[in-house]
Amino acid sequence: MRLLSTPLIIGLSILGLYTSPVIAAETRVERIGERLNHPWGMDFVDDDHILVSERRGKLFKINLRNGESREIQGLPEVENIGQGGLLDVLVNDKNPTHIYYCYAKSGEDGVSTAIDMAQLNGDTLTNRKTIFHANNGSDGGRHFGCRLEISGGHLYGTVGDRGARQFAQEPASNAGSVVRFNLDGSLPEDNPNIKDWRPETFSKGHRNAQGMALNPKTDEIWLHEHGPRGGDEINIIKPGANYGWPVVSHGEEYSGGKIGIGRSAPQFKDPVWTWIPSIAPSGMAFYDGDMFPEYNGKLLVGSLKFQSLYLVELKNGRPTAEHVILEKEIGRIRDVAVGNDGAIYLLSDERRGGLYRLSR
């Protein structure tokens, strides 16, 4: 394995110095290590190593200095079906040997989203335990959600509607929800106590959330989710809130026409930002670092559809504008992370994708 520190050529695009109206000159874009097969999620073990999942059910620990990659053993059986597979991975910063990962898991009612916790001992997972297996199983391969985040000593995870939109408003279904656990996998006593909601449910009315990040200034959980035809959203997650899908949406049917009753209703929380047309967002991170000081306090969002990295400007804690800072250079951007050194790390969700670093 190797770190590509010289410009990398893909087709007619040269990865190296890249300029745009926002990203400054002499920003390097480099692939770290060998190609990856549809990488999906990543998190840092320490300053020198990162965990990266592949959708097909593999997990790797990659050395950020030399690109050396070691496959992690001890994973469960993963259903690689459609959009499902081994998806997000998250390291507990307080105890980096404790990790969580989200994946597509078979059950009696089909395949649905599951979350495991485990210990990382060297290159092997031990003491593996499934702490959540969603009850909205399906034979289809759409809308697993599957982003993870930690805030305030709790683990948050997203569950997609699995393409069966009506269940996102069904109280007893995990479909279209954000779930919340203690870091040991138990249920928090202060989860919302709403009639007929599952005890792990923190919010409802989501379609397919594949980006989640902790706002370091407010400790709020921010989430973005795929809309249908138009109507991708950024939402700030509140306990017990309902975000309206599919009763309200800023998108429309793929065949054309309004979805539900319109874009907004008093009983539902409105998004703080929408994309029309859709950008197919995936992965996001708040930037807080020294390498790109002009990005501090702003939000980085990956786009699958436009193969771009977006920088979202904030004012008074809410989005106000956006810019594309990397476009069609590495393929479909699936995940975004910021290292302790301030470099920006990206995953390219392609059959011959990879882990990339933006740095100066």
Q: What CATH number is given to the structural domain containing 159?
A: 2.120.10.30
The total number of structural domains that make up the chain: 1
Mean pLDDT of 279-288: 98
pLDDT of residue 14 exceeding 80: no
The 10s digit of each residue's pLDDT in 288-344 is 999 999 999 999 999 999 999 999 999 999 999 999 999 999 999 999 999 999 999
Give the number of other CB atoms < 10 A from CB of residue 153: 9
Cα-atom radius of gyration of the chain, to the nearest Å?
19
The stretch 202-221 carries a mean pLDDT of: 97
Q: What pLDDT is recorded for position 27? A: 87
What is the DSSP code (8-state) at residue 142? -
- The answer to the question of residue 246 being in a domain is yes
What residue numbers bound the domain in which 201 lies? 37-308+323-337
Q: Domain for residue 2, yes or no? A: no
Write the DSSP assignment of 239-268 as a string of letters: TT-B--TTTB-SSB-TTSSB-TTBS--TTS
| Interval 38-91: pLDDT, tens | 999 999 999 999 999 999 999 999 999 999 999 999 999 999 999 999 999 999
Q: Which position among 49, 98, 143, 250 bears the catalytic label?
A: 143
Structure tokens at 333: 């951007």
Rounded to whole angstroms, how far apart are CA atoms 303 and 278? 9
Q: Is residue 81, in this structure, part of any structural domain at all?
A: yes
Whether 143 is a known active-site residue: answer yes
95 C-beta neighbours (distance < 10 Å), count: 10
- Per the domain annotation, does 162 fall within a domain? yes
The verdict on residue 27 lying in a domain is no
Tell me the β-bridge partners of 346: 336, 356
Round to whole Å and give the CA distance between 343 and 297.
15
Is residue 16 situated within a structural domain?
A: no
**Amino acid sitting at position 156:** Y
**178 in any annotated domain:** yes
User: Would residue 78 count as lying in a domain?
Assistant: yes
Quote the pTM value.
Answer: 0.93
